[in-house]
């Protein structure tokens, strides 16, 4: 009888098994141990348990891992309040519904889990990642073989772009690879499968920057790999639609906040409309919004390897909006609606 890693006992063909185990033993050194790589903090909530980061694990049979089958949310915590909590919950449960997945806990419980993670990790300002995966099942796509969806809540920090980009703006590219057609994959579903966005981001990284504007298969401006996009022309702000017209993008909660609340608060007007990339290149100012990114200006757009300079730094109206944004999220009360 041979024992592999102390827990699995196998009868028969002992010597062949031992030989194979010995010949593959060195492979363990390829990976750092979870405690070396991850450490203990934050405490992470996984399927009902609050665990040290290095022990927070899910099954290798989880379809979230095997197929990217699941949905997620990224949420900001400002001064211990969960920014736009209600809207994030609505989007999460709606996305789950769209992929025919029933989240096994109520919205109220989901909110309490987040508050627990904030308290357990003493998080004043940070970021919450909620993941709802299809859950452990069999090897095969069939979601009916996954009896209970998994729920993960991570309350931690996030920083997408360098600090100086927030003051000076950042250079982005226009990705060659389009977003999948809206009919193929509803871009409003915030799914665990971000490969299209990751490959567009790799295009950006290959060209020495951090973000890419993604076009629809018909060449309309949609969004970036992790942010929505706005342009300003002659004092008016424009952003593409999410699911009407020719575009298609995530219904960004920051986009909605900026479009429907922040811009009017600053005495400006925001128009939702389809745009071609030429309009973006001809804009006075361009900025991106997202939960992780918050608000960030774009100062240059590269298309087909050719740079189009928009400005030397952050434009004045973007600056005004960004300061108002900061004022709201650092003041009392932080909106949880």
Site for ligand PMP, rule CB under 6 A: 74, 197, 223, 226-228, 249-250, 252-255, 289-291
| Nearby residues of 94 by Cβ (< 8 Å), 6 or more positions away | none
**Counting Cβ atoms within 10 Å, is residue 223 exposed (0-12), middle (13-18) or buried (19+)?**
buried
Work out how close the CB of 88 gets to ligand PMP at its nearest, in angstroms, rounded to a whole number: 7
- What single DSSP character describes residue 258? I
Comparison of 61 and 72: residue with beta carbon closer to ligand PMP: 72
Q: CB 223 → ligand PMP: shortest distance, Å?
A: 5
**Residue 197 C-beta: closest distance to ligand PMP, Å:** 6
Q: Which is nearer to ligand PMP, 104 or 335 (CB)?
A: 335
Say how far apart CA 326 and CA 321 lie, in whole Å. Answer: 9
Tell me the angle at which helices 85-98 and 107-120 cross, rounded to the nearest 10 degrees: 130
Under DSSP, is residue 12 helix (H, G, I), strand (E, B) or coil?
Answer: coil
Beta bridge partners of 298: 170, 286
- Pick the closer one to ligand PMP by CB: 229 or 232: 229
Q: Which is nearer to ligand PMP, 122 or 157 (CB)?
A: 157
Please tell me whether residue 141 adopts helix, strand or coil conformation: coil
Q: Shortest distance, CB of residue 228 to ligand PMP, whole angstroms?
A: 5
Which of 126/226 has CB closer to ligand PMP?
226
Minimum distance between the CB of residue 193 and ligand PMP, rounded to whole angstroms? 12
Q: Which two tokens stand for residue 118?
A: 């904030």
Picking from 5, 2, 121, 147, the residue whose alpha carbon sits closest to that of residue 52 is 121
Contact (Cβ atoms closer than 8 angstroms) between residue 177 and residue 199: yes
73: enclosing H helix or E strand: strand 70-78
Q: For the CB of residue 255, give the shortest distance to ligand PMP in the complex, in Å.
A: 6
Minimum Å gap between C-beta 226 and ligand PMP is 4
Q: Considering the complex, what minimum distance in angstroms separates the CB of residue 8 from ligand PMP? A: 40
CB atoms within 10 A of CB 273: 12
Q: Which of 156, 193, 186 is nearest to 72 (CA)?
A: 193
Cβ closest to ligand PMP, residue 137 vs residue 161: 161
Q: Which is nearer to ligand PMP, 150 or 290 (CB)?
A: 290
Q: Which two tokens stand for residue 55?
A: 């022990």
Instruction: Say which residues have a Cβ less than 8 Å from residue 194's Cβ, sequence separation at least 6.
Output: 68, 225
Least distance (Å) between residue 91 CB and ligand PMP? 7
Cβ-contact 325, 313 below 8 angstroms? no
When the beta carbons of 146 and 209 are compared against ligand PMP, the nearer one is: 209
Check: CB of residue 229 under 8 Å from CB of residue 288.
yes
Complex with ligand PMP: residue 223 or 285, whichever CB lies closer: 223
């Amino acid at each position: 009888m041979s024992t592999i890693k102390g827990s699995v006992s196998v009868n028969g063909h002992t010597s062949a098994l031992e030989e194979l185990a010995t010949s593959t033993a060195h492979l363990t050194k390829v990976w750092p141990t979870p405690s070396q790589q991850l450490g203990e903090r934050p405490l992470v909530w996984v399927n009902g348990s609050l665990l040290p980061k290095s022990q927070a694990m899910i099954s290798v049979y989880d379809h979230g891992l095997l197929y990217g089958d699941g949905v997620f949310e990224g949420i900001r915590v400002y001064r211990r309040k969960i920014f736009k909590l209600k809207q994030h919950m609505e989007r999460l449960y709606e996305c789950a519904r769209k992929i025919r997945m029933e989240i096994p806990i109520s919205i109220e419980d989901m909110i309490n889990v987040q508050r627990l993670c904030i308290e357990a990790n003493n998080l004043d300002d940070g970021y919450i990642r909620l993941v709802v995966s299809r859950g452990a099942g069999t090897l095969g796509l069939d979601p009916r073989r996954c009896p209970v969806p998994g729920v993960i809540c991570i309350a931690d920090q996030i920083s997408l772009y360098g600090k100086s980009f927030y003051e000076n703006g950042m250079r982005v590219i226009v990705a060659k690879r389009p977003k999948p057609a809206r009919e193929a994959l509803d871009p409003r579903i915030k799914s665990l499968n971000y490969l299209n966005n990751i490959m567009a981001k790799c295009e950006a990284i290959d060209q020495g920057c951090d973000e890419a504007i993604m076009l629809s298969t018909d060449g309309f401006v949609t969004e970036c790999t992790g942010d929505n996009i706005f342009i300003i022309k002659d004092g008016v702000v424009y952003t593409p639609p999410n699911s009407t017209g020719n575009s298609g993008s995530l219904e960004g909660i920051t986009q909605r906040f900026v479009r429907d609340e922040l811009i009017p608060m600053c005495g400006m007007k925001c128009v939702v409309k389809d745009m071609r990339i030429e309009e973006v290149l001809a804009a006075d100012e361009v900025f991106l919004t997202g939960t992780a990114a918050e608000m960030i200006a774009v100062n240059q757009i590269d298309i087909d390897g050719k740079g189009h300079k928009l400005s030397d730094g952050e434009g004045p109206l973007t600056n005004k909006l960004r300061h108002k944004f900061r004022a709201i999220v650092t003041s009392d009360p932080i909106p949880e609606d």
